Structure 1
Amino acid sequence: MKNFALIGAAGYIAPRHLKAIKDTNNNLIAALDKFDSVGIMDSYFPNADFFVEFERFDRHIEKIKRQQNISLDYVSICTPNYLHDSHIRMALRRGADAICEKPLVLNPWNVDALADIEKESGQRINTILQLRLHSSIIQLKNKVASENKKGKYDVDLTYITSRGNWYDISWKGDASKSGGIATNIGVHFYDMLSWVFGEVEENVVHLREKNKAAGYLEFKNARVRWFLSIDENDLPQNIKDIGQRTFRSINIDNTELEFSKGFTELHTESYKNILKGNSFGLEDAKNSIQIVHDIRNQEINSKGEKHLFLNKI
């Protein structure tokens, strides 16, 4: 049984980490969040110590090690994107491995700095890239590898996940903290695309607004037109008609990739792999971090093929 701490216990994604720790028969000894709406912990680890101040949390971790010889094995990090780098460093300083939600960090050079610290500490930085564990995505990757297709696959990625007014007020609406729309809701798709279709050859941005973005990515084996939005007005009419607030589609050579199911246990599967020493690390995360950094910082232009949804804007 391994000892875990969790930073960001009140966040949206935290319950998946709590469940994964529980499902892999491990123990949560401490949790931290500046917000105290963490009643979900009662369903998993009611005896875990909880803190709303980082200083007291950090002191507690050191205290139980010195007085009770209880050491941390892992720190799970579910905090806002801009804090990941700092919290990963804290985990390694405490002699624990880090398990961090995506995006691991916001900038490519942060990955290089963390690689140096990881080497110095002898600890491991793990990231959650759960789409790589989805059976449909694995099948797609194997298909692309085996087909040896002449020419490139044509891919349309569309992801619209409606968000209310709260989004702009939260850290997610601040690009300096979240990395902007493409980073916050798209980074796992870009990771999946580069994992399946190979190295990025071209990255063009056609639209970059606070609540939506679109562009063209060319990989070694695919041409990808992508559109991301949190604006419910961008939803297709048939989706609105049934009262659905999310639309997700990956179309490859005019064939829809079915991957709407099979997500519920992917964090637990990620933890199982981490505990076996078979996890995704810094190098695995770097491609998608580079992609979103470039999307965030380059000029808008009209090169490349455009996503059809741009015709509506």
Structure 2
Amino acid sequence: MKRFALIGAAGFVAERHIRAIKETRNELVCAMDTFDVMGRMDSYFPEAEFVTSEKELVQFLQLAKERAEPVDYISICSPNFLHIKHIDLALKNGCNVICEKPLVIHSADLDKIKEWEADSGKKVYTVLQLRYHPTILRLKEEIEQSDKDFFDIDLKYITSRGKWYFKSWKGDVSKSGGIATNIGIHFFDMLTWIFGDVQQNKIMHSEDTKTSGELILKKARVNWFLSLDYNDLPEAATHAGKRTYRSIKIDGNEIEFSDGFTDLHTETYWQILAGNGFGVEDAKGSIDLTENI
């Protein structure tokens, strides 16, 4: 059983990490968030300590070490712009890291992390859960075995957001990285993982709520569109009462992978705990791309 702490425990994605810690039969011993209404903890780890500042968390980590009960991993679910700071905090306190996407906003920070890993002897992992999706794994195998050298891909991802979004850190490009980072990075990682490195990157349209472009990868041309605007949803989606629509077509054929997301964080944790998982070099391609976008 490994001992975990978690930073950013109140955020949407944090519950997936908390559940993954539980389902991999490990223990969350301390959670931290500046937001202090944390009833979700009662369903998973009611005995975990809860702190509302980094100073308190560091004190907890030091005390745990003194008691010969050190924390093995810190899971990071804080806002994107704080990831680099919290990775530094974790490594300086002798903990491995599991960090939600994006690992960082700026590619230059990846070199810092590699230096910190070498100095600390600890490892930083990131969450690239689509690489574990059964449909995506089958697609990668099919592409590798295909006689075709080049493919045409259309990516559309529309996930409508309310007015709150633009008053939060997510709506501030300097803090989130913008739409491409916030909602697109998993798809860009998946596509470059399967179809190869970026050869050309052209932006067709860019504004606060939507952006589009064309990517030339080693084995594919990708026309992509990302939007937060409800009005961009197709009629079939709005009639069905949906606020999100995702579509990936390869040579005109739809790739359906809407199902199967539920357990991918847990699978990510199993892989990391087994000595696998994705690290700094795995994250680099999509971070280079989204920063450029």
- TM-score for the superposition, normalised by structure 2: 0.99
Q: Distance in 1 between matches of 2:236 and 2:30?
A: 46
Matches within 5 A, 1:97-246: 97-150=96-149, 152-246=150-244
- TM-score relative to the length of structure 1: 0.92
CA distance in 1 between partners of 2:227 and 2:36 (Å): 30
Q: Does 1:83 align with 2:67?
A: no
Q: How does 1:52-63 map to 2 (within 5 A)?
A: 52-63=52-63
* Cα distance in structure 2, aligned partners of 1:115 and 1:40: 34
Supply the distance in 2 between the matched residues of 1:168 and 1:148 (Cα, whole angstroms): 46
RMSD: 0.7
Letter in 2 for 1:104: L
User: Does structure 1 retain, via aligned residues, the 8 Å contact 2:130–2:190?
Assistant: yes
In 2: Cα distance, 1:94 partner to 1:289 partner: 26
Match of 1:277 in 2: 275
Alpha-carbon contact 2:64-2:71 (below 8 Å) kept: no
Residues 1:64 and 2:59 aligned together: no
Counterpart AA for 2:69: I
* CA distance in 1: counterparts of 2:84 and 2:292, whole angstroms: 19
* Structure 1 counterpart of 2:6: 6
- C-alpha deviation, 1:63, in angstroms: 1.6
Q: Distance in 2 between matches of 1:209 and 1:127?
A: 28
Shift of 1:148: 3.2
Alignment map for 1:15-94 (pairs within 5 Å): 15-66=15-66, 68-94=67-93
d(CA) in 2 for partners of 1:219, 1:99:
28
Residue 53 (structure 1) shift:
1.4
Classify the secondary structure of the residue corresponding to 1:39: coil
TM-superposed CA distance for 1:58, in Å, is 1.2
Q: After TM superposition, give the deviation of residue 64 of structure 1 in Å.
A: 2.4
Matched to 1:260, the amino acid is S
Gaps of 5+ in 1: 296-313
Taking every aligned residue pair, what percent have the same amino acid on both sides?
53
CA-to-partner distance for each residue in 1:189-234, whole Å, 9 max, x for gaps? 1000000101110111111111111000110111000000011011
Matched residues in 1 for 2:23 and 2:63: separation? Answer: 28
